[in-house]
């Protein structure tokens, strides 16, 4: 292999694929980046076996070939040079780099040991607006579990009902569900994708100039491919029984309040000083037109804030992990928030006042 490419393009490509390099993988090759040179240019690939990234960076290819090189070391070297262009030459298991007056030789691993990436069939892709991708990442993906003990809960489920796409994530203590009206979605069966896939995709589309993302499912590999502006994400589809969240969400409520988002966030941050000393528990009390946010800690003391609200229904009280509520507030942009509750032992439902397509449910804490 022999190719010449712009250092800025190589540097950007390495930083992009470097986000999914497996630093503690069982296979040494997973710590490497695959460098491929063909008639179409140079392509960089990396994977942790859950998510794979493939980036087209162009360049002038003199001789085709491929090799894998430790991603961290290669990235640091390229970033440390100031040459305008970089020349890559492969000889056996060595990659020679020439960048201006600097040079280096890296020992690599054969490209044949790198996991094979699935490729989409021409005309198979479905187009998604990148605004939808960003919304799903911001409003839904954070509610997925970080704990790998139940892998299916680390994912985001996509289902189609008629002309609506329903996207859900839950970690067992909270859930977010978003309904999107778009008849272009044609998913025969629900699919569950790792939340990290959605977050990485949102980061990539945020750096892209294109307005849409292409999505293709590869049934035989149990994978999904997203493509945007020369970057491809290849993600495995999670398997398992996803909770029937519709049965968890109450259909009726005894109490409904409307709260100013900024005021609620301010009160929660104050309460959090005390709540973090007491398992993050914050009590919410609805009394007449007042909303009381209360936290206490045996060693530290207590805090109480009062917010004016609009209320329908009965007075009531409930306790939540305040960090879950802050996560929800950070995921939305509306000026006013709605909280619906029944009693202290039933889940509470949060949403924006002017957006009925997104709901966030949080399980209460016994006090």
Comparing 173 with 49, the larger pLDDT belongs to: 173
Q: Is 345 exposed, middle or buried (0-12, 13-18, 19+ CB in 10 A)?
A: exposed
Residue 355 has which token pair?
A: 């957006």
Tell me what pLDDT residue 300 has: 92
By C-alpha distance, which of 207, 204, 209, 206 is closest to 227?
Answer: 204
Residue 38 has which token pair?
A: 């063909």
User: For strand 60-63 and strand 2-6, is the pairing parallel, antiparallel, or unpaired?
Assistant: antiparallel
* Residue 255 host element (H or E): strand 255-260
How many Å apart are CA 245 and CA 243, to the nearest integer? Answer: 6
In which band, very low, low, confident or very high, does the pLDDT at 355 lie, cut at 50, 70 and 90?
A: very high
Tell me what pLDDT residue 188 has: 72
For the chain, the maximum distance between any two Cα atoms, rounded to a whole number of angstroms, is: 78
Contact indicator for 204, 146 with CB cutoff of 8 Å: no
Sheet order of strands, 231-236 included:
65-70, 32-38, 41-47, 51-58, 231-236, 223-228, 212-218, 126-129
The answer, yes or no, to whether residue 57 has pLDDT greater than 90, is yes
Tell me what pLDDT residue 121 has: 63
Say what the pTM is: 0.87
Kindly state the percentage of the chain with pLDDT values over 90: 77
Contact indicator for 294, 306 with CB cutoff of 8 Å: no
Tell me what pLDDT residue 220 has: 77
Write the CB contacts of 244 (distance below 8 Å, at least 6 apart in sequence): none
Average pLDDT, the chain: 92
Residue 119 has which token pair?
A: 């490729």
Q: Is 193 exposed, middle or buried (0-12, 13-18, 19+ CB in 10 A)?
A: buried
The answer, yes or no, to whether residue 304 has pLDDT greater than 80, is yes
Residue 325 has which token pair?
A: 């509520």
Tell me what pLDDT residue 104 has: 95
Tell me what pLDDT residue 272 has: 96
How many Å apart are CA 144 and CA 95, to the nearest integer? Answer: 40
Q: How many helices (H) and strands (E) are present in the chain, helices listed first?
A: 6, 26
Write the CB contacts of 256 (distance below 8 Å, at least 6 apart in sequence): 311, 312, 313, 338, 339, 340
The answer, yes or no, to whether residue 79 has pLDDT greater than 90, is yes
Instruction: Please give the full DSSP string across 306-347, using - where no structure is assigned.
Output: EEE-EEEE--EEEEEEHHHHHHHHHH---SEEEEEESSTTSP
Tens digits of residue pLDDT in 142-178: 999 998 889 999 999 999 888 888 999 999 999 999 9
By C-alpha distance, which of 37, 41, 44 is closest to 16?
Answer: 44
Query: Backbone phi, then psi, for 244, in 5-degree steps?
Result: -80, 85
* Residue 69 host element (H or E): strand 65-70
Distances (CA, A) of 357 to 69, 142, 238: 46, 17, 25
How many Å apart are CA 219 and CA 354, to the nearest integer? Answer: 38
């Amino acid at each position: 292999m022999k190719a010449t490419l712009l250092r800025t393009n190589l540097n950007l490509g390495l930083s992009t694929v470097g986000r999914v390099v497996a630093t503690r993988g069982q296979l040494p090759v997973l710590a490497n980046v695959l460098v491929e040179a063909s008639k179409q240019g140079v392509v960089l690939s990396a994977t942790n076996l859950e998510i794979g990234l493939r980036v087209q960076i162009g360049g002038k290819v003199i001789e085709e070939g491929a090799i894998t090189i430790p991603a961290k070391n290669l990235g640091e070297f390229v970033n440390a040079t100031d040459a305008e262009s970089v020349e890559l030459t492969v000889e056996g298991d060595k990659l020679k780099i020439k960048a201006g007056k600097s040079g280096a030789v890296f020992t690599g691993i054969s490209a044949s040991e790198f996991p094979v990436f699935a490729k989409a069939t021409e005309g198979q892709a479905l187009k998604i607006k990148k605004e939808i991708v960003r919304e799903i990442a911001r409003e839904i993906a954070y509610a997925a579990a970080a704990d790998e003990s139940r892998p299916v809960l680390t994912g985001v489920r996509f289902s189609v009902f008629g002309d609506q796409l329903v996207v859900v994530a839950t970690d067992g203590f909270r859930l977010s569900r978003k309904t999107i009206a778009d008849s272009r979605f044609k998913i025969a069966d629900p699919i569950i994708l790792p939340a990290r896939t959605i977050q990485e995709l949102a980061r990539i589309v945020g750096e892209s100039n294109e307005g849409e993302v292409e999505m293709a499912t590869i049934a035989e590999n149990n994978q999904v491919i997203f493509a945007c502006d020369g970057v491809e994400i290849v993600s495995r589809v999670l398997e398992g029984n996803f909770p029937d969240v519709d049965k968890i969400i109450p259909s009726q409520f005894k109490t409904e309040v409307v709260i100013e988002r900024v005021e609620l966030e301010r009160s929660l941050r104050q309460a959090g000083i005390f709540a973090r000393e007491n398992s993050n528990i914050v009590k919410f009390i609805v009394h007449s037109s007042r909303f009381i946010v209360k936290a206490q800690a045996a060693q530290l003391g207590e805090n109480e804030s009062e917010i004016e609200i609009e209320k329908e229904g009965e007075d009531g009280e409930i306790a939540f992990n305040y960090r879950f509520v802050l996560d929800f507030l950070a995921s939305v942009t509306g000026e006013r928030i709605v909280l619906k509750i029944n009693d202290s032992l039933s889940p509470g439902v949060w949403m924006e006042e002017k957006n009925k397509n997104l709901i966030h449910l949080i399980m209460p804490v016994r006090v």
